[in-house]
Structure 1
Amino acid sequence: MKVLHLSTFHRYGGAAIAANRINQALNRAGVLSEMLVAETSVEEPHVVSLAETAWQRRWSKARFALDRLTFMPFERSRAVRFAFSPGLVGTDISQHPLVQQADILHLHWTTFGFLSTRSLQKLFALQKPVVWTMHDMGAFTGGCHHSGTCERYQDQCGNCPFLRTAAPDDLSHGGWLRKQKAYANARLTPVGCSQWLANRARKSRLFGDLAVRSIPNPLDTKQFFPLPKAVARWELKLPDHKRFILFAAAKVSALGKGFSYFQKALTVLRQQLAQPNDVELLIFGAGDESLLNSLPFRYYFLGSLSSLEQIVRAYSAADLFVIPSLEENLPNTIMESMACGTPVVGFEVGGIPEMVRHRQTGYLVEYRSVEDLANGMRWILEQSETGYEQLAVNARNHVVANYDETVVAGRYLALYEEIF
């Protein structure tokens, strides 16, 4: 059985990282699995770039730009520029040798100029079994990646809150109808990375009577494992006698990552702590470091980390990881932190409650509550040594039992065999 994964990226963003991990996990499980992406930044086994020549790479970038340009005249503001994909720009890969040779096509996040809705329709017309691992809501909405409180995706979209001029027959409604046409007669099995996302997908008429499954993203728990804190801190040149709160995001300033909530909660936390100077911050991710200047604790900014060893050190060096995201599916960062034995504090939103067991592997925070976010950080910082060690063990065990790559690869292999 030959499986081909399709993803816009393979290293950039949580969806791409998750897709690549599924591909590599399947290969290690003995499955013939390849991934075709729009363009690669580095060569990697079992990953093939659609753009092989300099001209093709330029055209790939042009498609990305054109895809964004198709949305800009309609966007409500620049803040939502990357939150909606009309699906009008893409390339036809239906005759690509890897597509033709595949027994099963496995879709991931394919927007931003890689596959348009018409591109998908041509793939579905091949009548090959298709698994679609959904890393956000884009597969079953008229274009938005997360609908927030809007429920109009359930029935043809329209009056979209992401658009400058919302109307019953707006861009989102057209996108919804194009997808409905593309999905007709497709041999499609949608898969949500979280139960939360799968449940939302089941409410969309785009999927009709399709059986939506839920399979989490995988993690190699042999690579992500706890290092002694003293060792991790020494290697990162951090003081060993401090308590460290970790914040990490692909882009620290991204609106949905909730950095402003983190900042406000730290101000509250500083007032609550008996010895606030014992606590410091550890931050990694892309973005402007000037955003951190107003934080009420001393911080160490590691920038964007690409080395696996450095990422494991950062998680292991921290006493807790804070994820104040306002919208999430099944964050890789939570999985990585818990695998390294570091408890997590995060809002009770999306798939986070499936990962963080309240006061067992971390602390679930009342959504958008600055006060409770501060309470969660303080609760972990004030744990006894025995209590903290139990939190760390629980966190690691939860990841090994539910998200280890051997567990997830086995679930996908069973699904492939069922639909093939």
Structure 2
Amino acid sequence: MGFGTDKKLNILLISSGTPTDHSPKMALDMVKSLELGGHQVDLLLKYPVNDGPVNVLSVYSESDLYKLRIYNSINNRISRFKGIFEPEKIKPVAKYHFIDRNEDTPPVKSSLILKKIHVKYDLVLVFFWQGMLTSRSILDIYNKLKVPIFLISADMFPMTGGCSYFWDCRNFENSCGTCPAIGSEFENDITKKIFSYKKDVFNNINCVFLGNSWMINHAIKSKLFKNVDTIFPVINENIFKPQNKQVLKQQFKLKDKIVLFAGAVNVNEERKGFKYLVESLQLLSEKVSASVRKDIVLVIAGDSSIDLQAYFSFETLKTGQLSYDILALYYAMADIYLSPTIQDAGPMMVNQALMCGTPVVAFNIGTACDLVNDDTGYLAKYKDASDFCHGILRLLELKNEEKKTLSEKCCETSLNKSSYKAFENKILEVYVNLLDKQINH
């Protein structure tokens, strides 16, 4: 009511991750997106960066880093020494990525963060808070600024009592406790205390939880947040864009090949779904003709010490670590992007591939639930390698004209959800709706 969507905001974006690679790099695209919309944005990080945007603040200076390394080294030795005499201490189960800490004692003191905030902002965006913030930090920031705080979720941690990935556990729907992530059999364990603390904070500040619809569905069930809304990873459409596949294949010496592309492989990280990738491609090898099998190349990005060829009957190619510019070329060159991840808030690679006009086969979790369908690829049943294989086959069997139409739809879908303009519009829409809601109440 009366605010309109042309309001220019003064925004503080807080991120604990160093935005040089992987998911934390998205913070830079958030800044660019909002600045292109005419908004003023300050990016507050834990550590300084040398090549970031102009308006970068950091809690620690370069001179602080040396002291921190010494402190952390000593602290780690003390922790290991204590561990000798505390054999009964519960060790978190690795796959849950449990963060064992006191929510009332943030990794970085709130006073250090508040010292860096000298401007009156209209809005605070929080992205990647682990290692820097807790809900106590967010409460302290809110008490100083008294403006809406948007929690842009990179994983499930905001809605749980400590885990970043909850797998089949749904205890967070009942305030956590009896936590499988720490092997707890007690209802009133540390996870229930963490959850209760978060609930007290989020019920007493003006905040919004933002994520894809899959995340939102779970966030609602946690009952931690009064306000939730959908948002998607912001992708730089000037880098991730469709290009001539045949020219790229020739450039990468893959002329006339059918290129299946996948992200970095970590055999030991269950949530990345390597097991299902292997199973589905073994099935694919049995179903396609010998000539097609000969033409297929599986390209996997990122560093990997394992012998991939030992797992697959298709020719495999490891790219090593890729810059965003080169990664975008691989997406654009690929005929299909494979996302076998089985536990993730994203992954944003789905959005990147689609932006390049490349169809995606993914399991029905995370951002794929909103973006992947018969018009953009294939959404396979959860953990069903046979259905994942069926999706690959379906796309391989399309005629050239159908592939062209599919590619156009992929790009259109991702631009509508993940472009710079789409991200800026969504932030402004949620902000205006929140203010209208306050007025009406």
What TM-score, normalized to structure 2?
Answer: 0.85
- Aligned residues: CA RMSD: 2.7
**Is the 8 Å Cα contact of residues 38 and 60 (structure 1) preserved in structure 2?**
no
Q: 2:379 aligns with which of 360, 364, 383?
A: 364
What's the CA shift string for 1:102-147, capped at 9, x where partnerless?
3322111201x21133322322322232111122221121111222
CA–CA distance in 2 between the matches of 1:350 and 1:61?
A: 39
1:51 and 2:60 correspond: yes
Structure 1 residue runs without a partner (length 5+): none
Shift of 1:184: 4.2
Structure 2 residue runs without a partner (length 5+): 1-8, 84-88, 436-441
Say which is worse superposed, 134-143 or 25-34, in terms of deviation: 134-143
In the other structure, the counterpart of 2:202 is 183
1:198 and 2:216 correspond: yes
CA–CA distance in 2 between the matches of 1:355 and 1:367?
A: 16
CA–CA distance in 2 between the matches of 1:30 and 1:233?
A: 39
In the other structure, the counterpart of 1:39 is 47
What TM-score, normalized to structure 1?
Answer: 0.89
1:280 and 2:297 correspond: yes
In the other structure, the counterpart of 1:351 is 367
Say which is worse superposed, 177-186 or 150-159, in terms of deviation: 177-186
1:144 and 2:159 correspond: no
**Is the 8 Å Cα contact of residues 37 and 48 (structure 1) preserved in structure 2?**
yes
3-state secondary structure, aligned to 2:30: helix
Specify the code of the residue in structure 2 equivalent to 1:411: K
Taking a change above 3 Å as real, the CA distance of residues 132 and 222 of structure 1, as seen in their structure-2 partners, is: same
CA–CA distance in 1 between the matches of 2:73 and 2:379?
A: 37
3-state secondary structure, aligned to 1:147: coil
In the other structure, the counterpart of 1:295 is 312
Specify the code of the residue in structure 1 equivalent to 2:215: L
Shift of 1:384: 1.5
1:166 and 2:185 correspond: yes
1:403 and 2:418 correspond: yes
Shift of 1:292: 5.3
Q: 1:388 aligns with which of 403, 410, 416?
A: 403
Shift of 1:33: 0.8
In the other structure, the counterpart of 1:267 is 282
Taking a change above 3 Å as real, the CA distance of residues 323 and 63 of structure 1, as seen in their structure-2 partners, is: farther
CA–CA distance in 2 between the matches of 1:200 and 1:77?
A: 21
Q: 1:341 aligns with which of 357, 382, 392?
A: 357
In the other structure, the counterpart of 2:138 is 120
Taking a change above 3 Å as real, the CA distance of residues 188 and 53 of structure 1, as seen in their structure-2 partners, is: same
Question: Identical aligned pairs, as a percentage?
Answer: 21
CA–CA distance in 2 between the matches of 1:367 and 1:24?
A: 35
Shift of 1:173: 1.0
Taking a change above 3 Å as real, the CA distance of residues 130 and 253 of structure 1, as seen in their structure-2 partners, is: same
3-state secondary structure, aligned to 1:203: helix
Taking a change above 3 Å as real, the CA distance of residues 180 and 42 of structure 1, as seen in their structure-2 partners, is: same
**Is the 8 Å Cα contact of residues 247 and 323 (structure 1) preserved in structure 2?**
yes
Aligned length: 410
CA–CA distance in 1 between the matches of 2:73 and 2:376?
A: 40
Specify the code of the residue in structure 1 equivalent to 2:321: S
**Is the 8 Å Cα contact of residues 358 and 407 (structure 2) preserved in structure 1?**
yes
Taking a change above 3 Å as real, the CA distance of residues 47 and 283 of structure 1, as seen in their structure-2 partners, is: farther
Shift of 1:419: 4.5
1:131 and 2:139 correspond: no
In the other structure, the counterpart of 1:379 is 394
Specify the code of the residue in structure 2 equivalent to 1:185: N
CA–CA distance in 1 between the matches of 2:265 and 2:276?
A: 17
**Is the 8 Å Cα contact of residues 58 and 116 (structure 2) preserved in structure 1?**
no
Taking a change above 3 Å as real, the CA distance of residues 397 and 51 of structure 1, as seen in their structure-2 partners, is: same
Taking a change above 3 Å as real, the CA distance of residues 76 and 9 of structure 1, as seen in their structure-2 partners, is: closer
In the other structure, the counterpart of 2:32 is 24
**Is the 8 Å Cα contact of residues 95 and 269 (structure 2) preserved in structure 1?**
no
Shift of 1:223: 2.1
CA–CA distance in 2 between the matches of 1:261 and 1:66?
A: 40
